[in-house]
Structure 1
Amino acid sequence: MKYTHNISDKILHLHFEGDLIGENNGAELVEIVKDAIDKQVSLCALYIEDVRYINSSGIGVLITILTKFRNKGGEVVLVNPSDHVKKLLVITKLNAIFSIVDSETEAIEKLKKS
């Protein structure tokens, strides 16, 4: 999996591409989140439109990111998940836990309101 990240307007933007398999990048991603929180960033947009597959470790990474932000009074949104990922979120009932939006604009609006 490839990923990029940046902080803009007090929002951590994480863009994922490929297969989200937590064993490979999980620790790095959690460190990025920790660094952002240490910089007083409490909002996060996870761009997962280019994620083809998520395994259980990848789901664990998403939940860890969500937990870290919510523990600091923040919020996370998933931006434009692929159809395959949407189905997985429904099957695992994670669609009830995560906020899911269709665009970056919608993500920023939702995060600013939280």
Structure 2
Amino acid sequence: MRTDANLQDGILSVRLSGDLIGSPDSQQLLQTVDQHLGDEAVKLCSVDLSNVRYVNSSGIGVLVSLLTKFRSRGGELVLINPAEHPRKMLALTKLTSIFTIADDEAAASSLLKNAN
């Protein structure tokens, strides 16, 4: 899995590609986010799942962990355009009622700014 993260306008934008399966890559994702969470001003996050081919239960756990990290500090996390398999997994686990899902980065940014 590949992870790209950047901080802009107070929103941590994370783009993932490949498989989100709880491997060492997932730990790298959590560490990357934790580095940005060292800044108290970072409370909003978008995670682009459009290039994630496959998600297993460990990958779902990583997404829930990220959501918990942001909500516990009074922030929010939005998933962007999950590909077919991740979208099915979120629906199967009933997490579509927990996560906010946006169609694109602009919609996610708008949702996050309105949530804060």
Cα deviation for residue 72 of structure 1 reads: 0.2
Contact persistence 2:15–2:48 (CA under 8 A) = yes
Question: In structure 1, what is the Cα distance between the partners aligned to 2:22 and 2:7?
Answer: 22
Cα deviation for residue 26 of structure 1 reads: 2.1
Normalising by the residue count of structure 1, what TM-score does the alignment of the two structures yield? Answer: 0.95
Normalising by the residue count of structure 2, what TM-score does the alignment of the two structures yield? Answer: 0.94
Alignment partner, residue 68 of structure 1? 69
Cα deviation for residue 23 of structure 1 reads: 2.1
SS at structure 2 position matched to 1:87: helix
Aligned residues: 114
1:103 and 2:104 matched: yes
Deviations 1:9-55 (A, max 9, x none): 11111100010011222222112222222212000000000000001
SS at structure 1 position matched to 2:23: helix
Cα deviation for residue 67 of structure 1 reads: 0.4
Instruction: Please tell me the root mean square deviation across aligned C-alpha atoms, in Å.
Output: 0.9
SS at structure 1 position matched to 2:65: helix
Contact persistence 2:55–2:85 (CA under 8 A) = no
Contact persistence 2:45–2:76 (CA under 8 A) = yes
Question: In structure 1, what is the Cα distance between the partners aligned to 2:95 and 2:21?
Answer: 17
State the identity %: 46
SS at structure 1 position matched to 2:50: strand
Question: In structure 2, what is the Cα distance between the partners aligned to 1:35 and 1:42?
Answer: 13
SS at structure 2 position matched to 1:60: helix
Question: In structure 2, what is the Cα distance between the partners aligned to 1:66 and 1:97?
Answer: 9
Contact persistence 2:79–2:99 (CA under 8 A) = yes
Note the residue ranges of structure 2 that are not aligned, 5 or more in a row. Answer: none
Note the residue ranges of structure 1 that are not aligned, 5 or more in a row. Answer: none
List 4+ stretches of structure 1 deviating above 2 A.
none
Amino acid at match of 2:100: S
What pairs with 1:5-84 in structure 2 (closer than 5 Å)?
A: 5-39=5-39, 40-84=41-85
